[in-house]
């Protein structure tokens, strides 16, 4: 468990490591282990508990609690062997739970494809980041989807894991990563997962609830620093952050919309069907590719502010 000054160093070092090297594909990643464990345990839980909701609740509880306890035991054991080694393990665990560099790199790939007029390539790249149909997307649609991805994932890929790392140490960040992994695997409103995945989806909503709202002043401050639109970002987040089916995703997306002066969300094609969604930033213009790079800069600035907030929190109470 992180404490005092060591917590500040762990968060700072983990973020620096991510910004420097990102997520090398060659290195093993805990999320792959989490996903593998979830895939192997789904059927046994379904067989053990015939009620789908109860099975899904037990499934999520065991995996999240197990992740926290295994991570905690590992950190404690290594710290007992050598405090410095324990600190290194915590840095690596927190590093594995955040992804600002990866998010930046993936969005920039989309921008580069659009800038080179490689629309087919840009559609293929954005298809790996969003769940909507991308085959007929134009330049503005792709730009909008890329910005939305950067905005939403700033919370669940950066701010929330840092938040849990500050409160519960590296094991807390790992537990949240399991929550996020389960939501992405079973948190769907489909016939198969409507009941089984409900607990995982609601747990993800609960875990991101505070960070999503904390993201509004953080993004607004970042916007004030780099593009002088902090007040507009804050106003848009407050007035339009609820225009989303998710209880959380609309907050950072509305803050980004206000900061960048762009229109986000709106109607989209999902599984061949037009789904009408309200606009966020309805009074702004649709974005072009240049707004993707602006969103990336905003996200990195907000990431640095978020880390500073968490570090200051620990220094104040440590």
Q: Is 98:158 a contact under the CB 8 Å cutoff?
A: yes
pLDDT in tens, 227-263: 999 999 999 999 999 988 889 999 999 999 999 999 9
Q: Hey, what are 89's tokens? A: 């393990």
pLDDT in tens, 100-133: 999 999 999 999 999 999 999 999 999 999 988 8
The residue-averaged pLDDT of 297-301 equals 98
pLDDT in tens, 196-210: 999 999 999 999 999
Share of the chain above pLDDT 90, in %: 80
The residue-averaged pLDDT of 30-51 equals 94
Per-residue pLDDT at 5 exceeds 70: no
Per-residue pLDDT at 311 exceeds 80: yes
Q: Hey, what are 281's tokens? A: 């930033």
Q: Give CA–CA dist 98/162, Å, rounded.
A: 8
pLDDT in tens, 168-189: 999 999 999 999 999 999 998 8
If you search the block for the tokens 């409103």, which residue do you land on? 189
pTM of the model: 0.94
Per-residue pLDDT at 289 exceeds 80: yes
Dihedral of the CA atoms 271, 276, 121, 148 (nearest 10)?
Answer: -120
Domain map (residue ranges) of the chain: 4-317
Share of the chain above pLDDT 70, in %: 97
């Amino acid at each position: 468990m992180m404490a005092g000054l060591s917590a500040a160093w762990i968060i700072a070092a983990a973020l620096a490591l991510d910004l420097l090297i990102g997520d090398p594909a060659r290195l093993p990643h805990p999320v792959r282990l989490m996903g593998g464990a979830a895939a192997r345990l789904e059927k046994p839980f379904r067989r053990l508990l015939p009620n789908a909701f109860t099975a899904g609740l037990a499934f999520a509880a065991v995996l999240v609690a197990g992740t926290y306890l295994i991570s905690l035991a590992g950190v404690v054991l290594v710290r007992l062997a050598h405090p410095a080694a324990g600190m290194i393990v915590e840095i690596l665990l927190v590093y594995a739970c955040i992804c600002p560099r990866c998010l930046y790199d993936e969005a920039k790939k989309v921008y580069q494809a659009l800038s080179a007029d490689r629309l087919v390539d840009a559609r293929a790249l954005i298809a790996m980041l969003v769940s909507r149909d991308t085959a007929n997307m134009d330049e503005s649609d792709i730009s909008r989807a890329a910005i939305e991805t950067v905005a939403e994932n700033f919370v669940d890929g950066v701010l929330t894991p840092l938040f849990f790392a500050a409160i519960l140490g590296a094991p807390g960040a790992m537990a949240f990563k399991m929550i996020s992994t389960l939501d992405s695997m079973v948190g769907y409103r489909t016939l198969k997962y409507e009941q089984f995945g409900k607990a995982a989806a609601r747990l993800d909503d609960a875990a991101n609830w505070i960070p999503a709202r904390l993201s509004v002043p953080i993004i607004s401050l970042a916007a004030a620093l780099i593009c002088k639109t902090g007040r507009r970002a804050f106003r848009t987040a407050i007035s339009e952050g609820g225009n989303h089916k998710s209880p959380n995703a609309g907050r950072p997306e509305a803050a980004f919309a206000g900061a960048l002066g762009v229109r986000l969300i709106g109607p989209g094609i999902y599984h061949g069907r037009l789904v009408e969604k309200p606009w966020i930033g309805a009074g702004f213009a649709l974005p072009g590719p240049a707004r993707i790079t602006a969103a990336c800069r905003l996200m990195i600035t907000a990431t640095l502010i978020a880390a500073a907030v968490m570090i200051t929190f620990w220094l104040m109470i440590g």
